[in-house]
Structure 1
Amino acid sequence: MAAIQEREATSRPYPLRSRKYSELPTFTCMKGKDQFDCMQLIADKKADLIQLDPGMGYTGGQYYNLMPIMAEKYTTGPVSGNDGLTYKAVAVVKRSNSKVQNIDQLAGTKACFPGVGQAAGWVYPMSTLMESGKMPVTECNVPVKSAASFFGSLCAPDGLARYYNPFGNNPATICQNCAGDRHTMCTVNDPYAGYHGAFDCMHKGAGDVAFLRDITVLQATSNSSSGLRPEDYKLLCTDGTTASVTSSDTCNWGIISSNIIVTSEVRVMSFRTDYKQLLELLSYDFGVGGQSTDIFELFSSSKYNDNDLMFSDETKQLVDVGERNNYFTWVGAEHRRRLLVLNMCPEPQARWCVISKHEMQKCEDMIMALAAKNLKPDLNCIMGLSVRDCMEKIRVGDADLITLDAADVYVAGKYYNLIPIAAEDYSGYDTATYFAVAISRRTESYMTLFNLKNRRSCHSGVMTAAGWIIPVDKLIETGQIQIRGCNSYYHLGQFFSKSCVPGVLDSDYNTKGTNPINLCESCASGGQDRCLRNDEELYFGNSGAFRCLVEYGGDVAFAKHTTVRENTGSRNQAQWARNRRSDDYELLCTDGTRKDIDEWANCNLGEIPSNAIVTADFKTAEQRAIYWTLINYAQQFFASDSNPDFPMFASMLNHKDLMFQDSTVRLVAIKEKKQNYRDYLGASFIRAMERNDEIDCITSSANQVALVSVKQTTLVVCLVYLLASCLR
């Protein structure tokens, strides 16, 4: 700022068509914690400009809505075949280092990076090693872990930053070679951060190889008083050879667009024009060959005993980016391709099984959202005819994942060999459980859990935990229903005058076609959608069961304990839920009393394990880890219900709980040793399911048929083979 004021006070001429500094925005400086903080400040309109390497510029454009307006140019005047708007990525070692003679000897060595995310110092070398197969993929979407496994130890500044370490489990070895104190260690302020810092890291023996820009070694050795000579270093070429540090034209790991100055895309055009003119004027006055370099040198950091402060020291002038005025076009196709390489994944896709057109729509939206974040493996959506059909598709390998109700987890584990790998958490406190409750209207205060006979009931679905298993179990336990002849459906149809039990007439649960029709008479959808066990039936699911109660389809609703709160107090904007008050409803308790809907901890029918994401038991531990990493990254970006791009735990009006329960706060991984249905569900819920199996001989026998069908097929084949042998 002082240099500008001094320049303004002189009578030196301004360049043609330029405005004076007094006519342009006032130049001030703001200190951010790091580059990400500065990007956020610009996105929040608290700052305006920052210079970024193209790797970080891509990040700024993709996640902070930043755009390039000016670029560093590294040549003056015309240079044959070089517009001055590129530089090269190189790998540098000491000639005296016998451990590393070529690129094939990098495994297990100590490495120095200028910073995670930097183009020449991270994106290009990492993508080269991964694409060539020299560096195996340790964990999808986490190249930092691949680097940590490949190299012996590293200094990779920002490798522990939240952006590159969202789960906080990146290995400490990525910072082992850094030199900072407890405040600067492994950050952009570490002595070994930046391209010159990475060179020092290698030169001083903290690392065997440094990944740099082509100019870095020549700059570091240009001062004769340092005692460093360019001939003491060599470049590692990607073809397995080596070359002198002056041979980067033929020995490099990629050509990269120059660094850029970015601003927010939401800044109006007039502001961006002012910023450009200010930067052009600064470059003209204080850049190489400028008329005011006696006052201040814009592209030199030597006065401050550092390198590349605000701009790269090799910059000759700042130029307009022209038509390449967005991060996508500035970095170019090759850089974008390499970013995809960084997210290489051994598992090509994760196929999610959905059971309705609305779930398919949300799943397809999720595909687009994850693809926009370059998350791997690619998500794909498979349409199943029903939950049981999806279980079968996963069992035979035609699909990979689905979220299931606890009762379905039991069926999936016992009869389809599926295992849970992640659970929904509805509180955020690692409590992967919820409570089944019975809900009634406050005005019907005479109703209790013990006088429900001949009343109307609303259930989230047949064979769902909160909507069927637990309430039926409780009615039997209290002696209100006595099951005879292995047919709980018949006796429920006799107990309630009519009900909505979505799915009760589906062939999976109505194997003999004898289930009572009155168990579907309270349902709301018409035609073929009526009483289906998916969201095509308007009264399906927990919110659907509550809607059934709200619209007087029933006198009691069996659902999850959060259901009333989710659909009252303007939390659900669907027309049926508008203006609904939570205090219009009460819970029916097992002691015959009634309580407020928020007293579910002391007034419930039973505790139930959360819904879980399941996959096939033949999936390897690595495949299961890949699925979880994808899901976990997805929720890091999209868990918020207010996310305008894609709310992972929210659904559309009138169709709730698509793919996940809308009440989900987050997903939590299930430890590998508990990735089986019995350990996940626990003894208490297993007992409830086994009691249901004992009284429900029809469904149980149907499941047994599904379980042995493959074995029977194999037996027939074997018998045919033996018979053929005998005939010979």
Structure 2
Amino acid sequence: MKTVILIVLIIFTLLSSGKKFRWCTLSDLEQRKCAELSKALTAVLPLATANSFARISCIRAHNTYDCIDKIRVNKADAASLDAGDVYSAVKLYGLTVVAKEIYDQGNCVFAVAIVRRGTLDIQRLRGARSCHNGARWTSGWNIPLGFLLARNDLSWDEAQPLSQVISEYFNASCIPGVGVAAPQLCALCQGQKSYVRDKNHFCETSGNEPFYDSEGAFRCLKNGVADVAFLDHLTIMSATESEQQEYELLCPDGTTAELAEYSTCNLGKGPGRGVVTRHNFQKITNKFLSMVQRLFGRKGKERARFELFTSAPFGGKNLLFRDATQHLQLLEEQLEIAYVLGLDYVALLKGLGHEGSSLDNSVVRWCCISDAELRKCEEWALSIKSDPLVCVQATSMTKCIEMIKSSEADAVTLDATHVYIAGRCGLVPVAVECYGRDCAPAAESSEETGKLIHLKHKALPPVYAVALAKKNAKQINIHNLRGRRSCHSHLYSPGGWLFLSRYTVGALENDTENCDIDSVYQNYFWKGCMPGADGNLCKVCIGDSEVEGARVSSRCAASHNEHYYGNMGALRCLVGNPSGRSFGDVAFLEHSNLLQNIKNLDSSGWAKGYTPIDFELLCPDGTRAAVTEWAGCNLGPIPPSTVMTRPVTVTKIYDFLMKSQESLGSKLDSEFHLFQSWKYGGSDLLFKDTTQYLVHASHMSYQEILGVSFFQLAELVFNCTPAGILDFCKQDICKSSSNDS
């Protein structure tokens, strides 16, 4: 009884204006289902009579964009659309999203490529005939094109329309909604042609185009019109036994798989459909959806009368909503679109030019983490003769990852631990740094020395993590560092944070069950400087006293704005500030430019008189060794730093780096050098100074670059140690909602 009273109250609130709630439909079958919904509402809720109010009115539209326009100009109120159209409705037409469809596996769909068994593989799509569920749709356009661009199978100069590039790639296609710009992309469609708009259904996003939507794209393949169909996994979940025998999926690795294996063989995952309305109608739409779901949803009180997520009685599929919808998840008001559709997906749409062409598409935005990096980057931008470079400043490497994921920047060079974090956040490798004189044998010879060289199976020369102490502090060894003052290159650094866990977490096992290494370090060391951390491990940091007013704000910053940041910074921390006051007992850093940094202590005027013989390495077995003995006395080998970006911008960043290295790499006659930092007042700015080459790595996963042991250690640590950046990235994971309304 309470439920009925609640529903009646909702209805009176909803209908007090006396207006109809107008749902936008795209086919005669949808119109029929919508009319039945209206009848069912009238039967269930007789209190609002037909004379004063028709509860739901069904507005027939020509196509999805006609629906969006009708909602915008107040001729309709709501519609359920593909996520690609939802984005356009919000960004280009000023509408808002009020709900998401939730399926068995959450609110996302797998984008799959289906072919007749034994006819094609993913490497042979060029020249094939293709059918897609819709232009600018998640599984038929956005994810497949992002996939092809990331692999450099599609070569897109952003000056030309993407549709033109696709029409040159496929032999002929049916991509409903693509428009008239590329006739080849509609060549396979079979809707009725007419010069009268309302009678023209050819290549339109409406039910009158036989090859529209995922069901239509699959029909196109089954009719023998196309060689490959791009659609979502929901369509093949109900494939018949004969369809499962006849068709297969194309997997990214070049293999094929059964239709039922879509969760492991797909081109990517993206958001499902959403319901859009006008901003001023959001509350009313919310209440309306809540009401019809309570009545006619999967658990609805009146399911016997009408089923909201079933289309079979009306002779079609996916009418008004996808039949696979389990429930509608109602959204908070004013929710940013990136958090509705996912950060990766929105970044992909921007990369594909969904908001039209913009300056961002034509430039490379490099992420810098300090004033010194910005100075170097700006000189790089002035020196490069290829694509325009824009320098974007962030406060740390993790902030760079966040900005690249959110499409506010495009690329950054990251140390191995940050490569792990970026990989978990959906970024991918472009190139890795190669260090030292042993670098060349690990690379292919190239006629053009500047070209990014492909990584061979042979491992790149390693960088070692080392623990450094002053020679005269004889009592210090790796096993008695507890309670001492520590200097670390920065938070999350491989040598100063990750590898160190092997020596400190174990040492505290008797005292605590805690495996959160941040809190372990706070308890293990007396005080120190680990830029980017907090508490005890910021007490020794000094910031940048040379910049007026910056000392407080830059103190313990995870960037070169903190004088004790990085390999050079950890060394400075160990020897103390220029006045000679010593702050550290041990420094955790990398061996790669250690000898040069010790020389720089003197030449830069930071600390006079130091030479390599004034320091020793602390070895894992408790002994000590000369600073040149790093190969035998280290905390572990560190994978190389890696340039990371979003998948859709890999080729653009690769081409840009190739041209930069070709003209600015290590040429003596060049005023600007990519791999030198001294003239900008720092070390290892943008790239490590010991870098000899940038090696092409976009054909590798971040896990392959990191190697099994480093990856497993990072997994172990981050599964237990909280990291805000990983929480930020988790927002993007497609997962089921527990809310039913």
What TM bracket, shorter-length normalisation? 0.3 to 0.5
TM-score of the pair, normalised by structure 1: 0.46
TM-score of the pair, normalised by structure 2: 0.45
User: Larger C-alpha radius of gyration, 1 or 2?
Assistant: 1
